[in-house]
Structure 1
Amino acid sequence: MAIIRRPDPKFQLGFSVEDGIICSLMRGGIAERGGIRVGHRIIEINGQSVVATTHDKIIQILTNAVGEIHLKTMPASTYRLLTGQEQPVFL
């Protein structure tokens, strides 16, 4: 679980997201300091599942969030395996 501390909406969160996956981080930004990682998929915001949530709704939730923002994430590859979108490769 990553915790981002955003005292006011005027502060940028410091990351970009596409279809629930963290695409980039602002070096030294609030998100990086809170433990957010590129390539991870957001699965929960402040205890609310966003697994089946649209991109626009995720952006709206994040844009309006202030104070302590609790994000549950997991590597996107793990998410794809757990949801059957990808098959494991056995050696």
Structure 2
Amino acid sequence: MTYQPPPGYPYAPPPRKNTLAIVALVVSIVSVVWCLGTLGFVGALLGRSARKQIARTGEDGDNFARVAIKIGWISFGISWGIIVAVNLVGLIGYLIN
């Protein structure tokens, strides 16, 4: 026989996920998939704002915000690295000719 909780003691609802953390994660992932580094910067900033909200309100989703920050900055760094590399190659090619 399995144990049943006594009536009148419902389970507590799970904590709400912070919506801004979810949006930050989606924006950061989209920035990687579509190679849009500037969007990664936006995702990182949204993730930072979400972490501040989570600390203030006690909502769940801090891991989403952390991952959004990391993915956003990595995407931003890689895209700017590519932009700098392409420009350097073009400049070197221009100077050689």
Specify the TM-score bucket, using the shorter chain as the normaliser. Answer: under 0.3
Of Structure 1 and Structure 2, the greater strand share is in 1
Whose relative contact order is higher, 1 or 2, with alpha carbons under 8 Å and at least 6 apart?
1
Q: Return the TM-score normalized by structure 1.
A: 0.25
Q: Which has the larger radius of gyration?
A: 2
> Taking structure 2 as the reference length, what is the TM-score of the superposition?
0.24
Structure in which a larger fraction of residues adopt helix: 2
